[in-house]
Amino acid sequence: MNTVSLPPVQHEAKAPKPKHKFKDPAKVPQPIQLALKKAMALEKMPADWFDDMLWILAQESEGNIGIRNQQGSSARGLFQLTKVNYHLLPRGKESFGNAVEECQGGIRYVVGRFHTAAAARRFWEKHLWY
């Protein structure tokens, strides 16, 4: 019985997955940061949530009011709420364009799904979405 000797299998080296570059919350425009603070007060959220909420907002919209998702999703606004969550906005989709109301919707989403801003941020950092 003849056996054929094959050369060892060569595997192409895979390039390491590039590390995600998170957006700097400090670059969110000051009026949007103030809108977030006002929304947090209206929703009676602890002040120490601000940094995590601002961080999420920065990742989702960079502080652009009413921005629409570019990948064809229904996600819109400062916190990129999808159509099934528009009801979380004070006036439904009529709230888009109002920074405080967009923030209120984002806060309500975070509370309903994650209970705390810190938990939402941890999830976002791990999955690159929330």
**Hey, which bits of the chain come out as E strands?**
90-93
Closest by CA position to 100, among listed 79, 74, 126: 79
Q: Which residue has the tokens 């919707």?
A: 105
Looking at residue 85, the DSSP 8-state letter turns out to be G
Residue 14: left if φ>0, alpha if ψ -120 to 50, beta else—which one? beta
54 Cβ contact list (under 8 Å, min separation 6) = 25, 28, 33, 36
Q: What is the pLDDT of residue 17?
A: 58
What six digits make up the tokens of 109?
Answer: 């989403």
- Give the integer Cα–Cα distance in Å for 2 and 90: 78
pLDDT (tens, 9 = 90+) of the chain, 130 residues, equals: 566 665 665 555 555 556 889 999 999 999 999 999 999 999 999 999 999 999 999 999 999 999 999 888 999 999 999 999 999 999 999 999 999 999 999 999 999 999 999 999 999 999 999 9
How far apart (Å, rounded) are the C-alpha atoms in residues 47 and 53?
Answer: 10
> For residue 42, how far is the Cα from the chain centroid?
21
**Tokens 């652009």 correspond to what residue?**
64
